[in-house]
Structure 1
């Protein structure tokens, strides 16, 4: 079945009759400032005689809008019917007429990205014989997956982009033809990489871009590619034996430009230099960070040696039975190795380093024990269990990765309890 949205993709309001209405729930996911929120919506699955709200299909997400003044959160195709999930406290009576209102901003964006994908795919096919095997319409960018093992050069991407925008300026018409899928000759010259859905009924749609291509597709499209405004091919990446070409079309080009310009202003303010200086200033900043890190590592090495030498300088009778040192300033395990290379052998050592966080917090790090093999074998697994880590050891040395420092004090209590002098048991009084 061809829905009203497929007959006229620019129709924003429409009245249709309710065919059925059933209670339903919908898992609804929203994102705000990088945080994802999930909740379950209560409403109804509503089927109308026809619809201007596109049901998800052909790589294109569904439309949003309203039905009888209540928000439509999802639309899916079920054979010849479009099922609308309507968030509403009240059901809809079968046989009554209801007004559908389209979220036009979302529809326009989807049409621009989808028609732009057709144009990009057609030109990659005609210029390089790269077949489009799938595509993805994301919330900020899109990509086409091309059947080629070779990473596409920037020059080739620019060539396709230029040809796309030249055709947009020419204002080629986009038309939709309904054909009988059983008449093979009707498909001549039309790309149909995925074929028709198994449950398809009735005529099939072929979307034609004047002088460019015909492509079997169920999605909504612009009527003239001038309505795409512009296409920007961002980059490509290799995925197994295919290549993904990322792009934006129309309003997304303007949003991407605004986003990039805002980021450029932020970088300019942060590194105190204009766009022409960004690369040089960032390279200098990287060099400074590299030198600073090298100096920091040398200072830590010197500090580790100094700590070890302090123990070495103690008379043997005054040396402690155990020594614990915990660094929480983000240093690496090299600090521990440098310390142990100079530390006296007869002392039991419990050493940790972690990711620059305060004590008692859940943080990742590294643990090393060295000393009497029997004590190491006993305490190592206990410490790992408390610190939620994994590791192993032998010959008096144990090391592992830890994920939670909140119970470091419990480890210290175990260590102190093991080395605490045992109280002498008084002799029993002699019998009188």
Structure 2
């Protein structure tokens, strides 16, 4: 994961601001600090903290849902199969998922014996942050004892956990900046947003699509504010649900954003402020400044349709994801230029040239295949003409080895040429055309096409191919097609076709 090195060494002291005279951060280590004023939210650059265990229990596996779960935008880490403990700490630097931001991962180290425990996920239960701790050796009793209430621990973000947090903070803070500009400059409220898995672009959902000019103007304005280095701070007070306004809705009835979860019992209201740009309630972690979050908007919007309403997605990149995107794009362009033996600026012209040449080659191939189909059909017609006066049915099997991309199309071209020229022939006939790839395995496909003068003959031949060779297929009238899966052997499969034809 790409990282940035432009962060200040510590969070400014005025970043976290308690605006209520009665709100206090408890120093009682027997009581958990509620979500909203956790250390990870007060000081997003803090990577470790000495604290104590408040409660620990064995995590019970959740029963699988009885119905298909709703689509979730939050990307959770893979949960191991080892037993998990649910640990509540007095305070933590590990953010529990919320506000559209995924969970952090990290470590808990017990002070008594320096044992390191992996935190694979953190969630909010009511108003508390719960750490899901992996018990690698399966000794749950020993783990419960080591992480018993009152135990002193160090909770921390290792390098992987910090890279994950920094990426999430970069994208989340950028989303606040982008949504504020979309609403104030273009009257486009953010209906929802998704913090996708690294390194994919994230997106905001807006009520309509945007023109390229609008996208460029928002990107330019956002980066002007980034270069100014606008500061970010957090304002916190007690939550009074009676004073909370409902979620606004559009004329279509679509909600703009989401309300506080019904199970949120933390009692803390948290507002993220980008100086002079935005004020918005949010529980996520945010950088103290936007000064190194250059924002890149993908120059198009993706239209969405939900029942009778329309909306659009605007994708964006910032921070480590933008670095990764630029690095990947440059490597792809450089590699493509090397393959095409040209400089990077000439790649579009050279690609157009290759596409044009490919189209001409395909046209030449189509012409050659058409001529070849007529030639093969002509041989069959000449052979049939020589025995026109005889009794019985003319039966023939023709096998080809062909790596064409449209084998069935070529066999159909042969059958069309054959049928057109035999329209005046009275002698009944059945012809089986087969085509296998040059390199074969147990999963190779051989295309089978059966064409004849009488639908009863064709149907009988198709049934014979099914029973003797296991060909899967079907047809109507005077044509039947199917597929044989496996290695085509002349001594076996071709002989079986001859047997089918001899029985007609």
The TM-score bracket by the shorter chain reads: 0.7 to 0.9
Q: 1:328 to 1:22 in 2, by over 3 A?
A: farther
Residue 198 (structure 1) aligns with: 262
| 1:22 aligns to 2:76 (yes or no) | no
Are the equivalent residues in 2 in contact too, given 1:56–1:76 (CA < 8 A)?
yes
Q: 1:388 to 1:196 in 2, by over 3 A?
A: farther
Question: SS state of the match for residue 291, structure 2?
Answer: helix
Q: Deviation string for 1:267-308 (max 9, x for gaps)?
A: 110111112211111111111000111111111111111111
| 1:373 aligns to 2:455 (yes or no) | yes
Alignment partner for residue 178 of structure 1, among 211, 216, 236? 236
Alignment partner for residue 58 of structure 1, among 94, 99, 105? 99
Map of 1:153-302 to 2, 5 A cutoff?
153-182=211-240, 193-201=257-265, 202-228=267-293, 230-235=294-299, 236-240=301-305, 241-302=310-371
CA–CA separation in structure 2 for the residues paired with 1:214 and 1:184? 20
Question: SS state of the match for residue 107, structure 1?
Answer: helix
Task: Return 277-286 or 97-106, whichever deviates more.
Answer: 97-106
- Measured after TM superposition, the shift of residue 379 of structure 1 is 4.4
| 1:112 aligns to 2:181 (yes or no) | no
Alignment partner for residue 199 of structure 2, among 135, 140, 161? 140
CA–CA separation in structure 1 for the residues paired with 2:378 and 2:226? 75
Q: 1:378 to 1:65 in 2, by over 3 A?
A: farther
Task: Return 171-180 or 343-352, whichever deviates more.
Answer: 343-352
**TM-score normalised according to structure 2 size:** 0.72
Residue 75 (structure 1) aligns with: 122
Are the equivalent residues in 2 in contact too, given 1:5–1:54 (CA < 8 A)?
yes
| 1:316 aligns to 2:387 (yes or no) | yes
Q: 1:380 to 1:373 in 2, by over 3 A?
A: same
Q: 1:58 to 1:324 in 2, by over 3 A?
A: farther
Q: 1:366 to 1:108 in 2, by over 3 A?
A: same
CA–CA separation in structure 2 for the residues paired with 1:387 and 1:282? 44
Long gaps (5+) in structure 2: 1-33, 63-77, 110-115, 249-254, 423-427
CA–CA separation in structure 2 for the residues paired with 1:143 and 1:111? 12
- Measured after TM superposition, the shift of residue 362 of structure 1 is 2.4
CA–CA separation in structure 2 for the residues paired with 1:231 and 1:382? 66
Are the equivalent residues in 2 in contact too, given 1:387–1:406 (CA < 8 A)?
no
Task: Return 101-110 or 330-339, whichever deviates more.
Answer: 330-339
Residue 359 (structure 1) aligns with: 440
**TM-score normalised according to structure 1 size:** 0.83
**Which protein has greater RCO, CA pairs closer than 8 Å, 6+ apart?**
2
Q: Deviation string for 1:321-343 (max 9, x for gaps)?
A: 13233454134233122211232
Q: 1:407 to 1:329 in 2, by over 3 A?
A: closer
Long gaps (5+) in structure 1: 27-37, 423-432
CA–CA separation in structure 1 for the residues paired with 2:207 and 2:471? 45
CA–CA separation in structure 1 for the residues paired with 2:203 and 2:163? 23
Q: 1:375 to 1:122 in 2, by over 3 A?
A: same
CA–CA separation in structure 1 for the residues paired with 2:466 and 2:439? 19
- Measured after TM superposition, the shift of residue 7 of structure 1 is 2.0
CA–CA separation in structure 2 for the residues paired with 1:216 and 1:165? 23
User: Larger % of strand: which?
Assistant: 1
Are the equivalent residues in 1 in contact too, given 2:465–2:500 (CA < 8 A)?
no
CA–CA separation in structure 1 for the residues paired with 2:282 and 2:311? 22
Are the equivalent residues in 1 in contact too, given 2:191–2:207 (CA < 8 A)?
no
CA–CA separation in structure 2 for the residues paired with 1:387 and 1:116? 59
- Measured after TM superposition, the shift of residue 116 of structure 1 is 0.3
